[in-house]
Structure 1
């Protein structure tokens, strides 16, 4: 268990509509082995001893059903279920208002294959270095392309990492970063880029390629495969 000044809360963001999934239902509520994707995600944070409380940020129409799931699945670490904003960044900012732990993890609700080790590794790195993100080395060659579809350069693949969640920060610094972005009208692609803008270095923690963000029907097919493989190995 973390000491008082190391207590960690989690903001799980599940407010997106997921138009790329091509379904009427939001992607975080689609079933994976008979259980909503979001619940698989939340149960991992529920089991992790380092996490003291969880805030779910979802769409306004989905607040009540999420609260009901919290009760029915026994997710007693969930202290708040709140409505998010029109952008993910706004949803995280609202989540920060509902959590008071010195440290905070931000995680995508549609990454159900996060593990307790991922969470612990991000916490340890953040405590040591101030901020951390889970990531994996890029496998493919990446090209920088101009507006006319011509290659401009080829970055060294060894320096490229694909960023995942969770991402871990001091709550005070993440709040400062979000408020600076709001004042300046800056919209980032993740929370770490906001923290980078206030001068904080962010430590990269190696994760796992299976920690996918489920956004397309193909991702859901892969998720079913991962769950089946884990079950055959006797893994949770």
Structure 2
């Protein structure tokens, strides 16, 4: 029998690119805040045993209220985040219950990950210790210098846009974070920290609906996805 699966949902950022007074994760999408949609996604996945939510210190009480109001029974802890996203993830994994062997790390503003893709990512991590959802890049990508001059054009066939969740054996992710902390290294995602251990991270193909709601332009697209693709939770 596999060990327990925990989920760390990180939603501590302020989201300055959204240019709204309210942080993006608390904006309404349909009838609920974006963050609640994300939490309900994992609440409804049978394989998930526990959810740790990491938010800004000022939002802890509000989010504990969400846990009660929306009957999010798998949320066992709401933690105040750290200075960097990486610090917030570390706080989340440290809060997981004893006996947890696997962990999914997910962005609080990605409410549309397909359940079947989440499970596929988790299953692949059980085989390889580390897996991430991703999609092939559709646009041509250019390497550009500080003067905004094109330096090179990578082969698009080798480029993938990395999403969340990212799935890991908990002991591996914990070691990756501890090494990064000891070496004062800040990575762009958890996969990058695990890669530094010399561990190969497997890509699992997701879909283009699993958007990260980051700017105002994302909001009408998110509303369309909610209505026409993923459905109200």
Partner of 1:145: 144
Q: Say if 2:69 is the partner of 1:67.
A: no
Partner of 2:169: 170
Partner of 1:105: 104
TM-score if structure 1 supplies the norm length?
A: 0.94
TM-score if structure 2 supplies the norm length?
A: 0.96
CA distance in 2, matches of 1:147, 1:62: 37
Q: How does 1:12-31 map to 2 (within 5 A)?
A: 12-31=9-28
Q: Say if 2:36 is the partner of 1:42.
A: no
CA distance in 1, matches of 2:10, 2:56: 10
Query: CA contact under 8 A between 2:8 and 2:52: conserved in structure 1?
Result: yes
Instruction: Give the ranges of 4+ consecutive aligned residues of structure 1 lying more than 3 Å apart after TM superposition.
Output: none
Aligned residue-pair number: 231
Deviations 1:110-156 (A, max 9, x none): 00101211210111110011100000000011111233333222111
**Secondary structure of 2:217's aligned partner:** helix
Change (3 A) 1:235 1:68: closer
Change (3 A) 1:49 1:222: same
Q: Structure 1 unaligned segments of length 5 or more: list them.
A: none
Residue 235 of structure 1, CA deviation? 7.4
Q: Say if 2:217 is the partner of 1:218.
A: yes
Q: Structure 2 unaligned segments of length 5 or more: list them.
A: none
Q: Say if 2:72 is the partner of 1:52.
A: no
CA distance in 2, matches of 1:72, 1:23: 25
More divergent stretch after superposition (145-154 vs 93-102) = 145-154
Residue 108 of structure 1, CA deviation? 0.1
Query: CA contact under 8 A between 2:129 and 2:172: conserved in structure 1?
Result: no
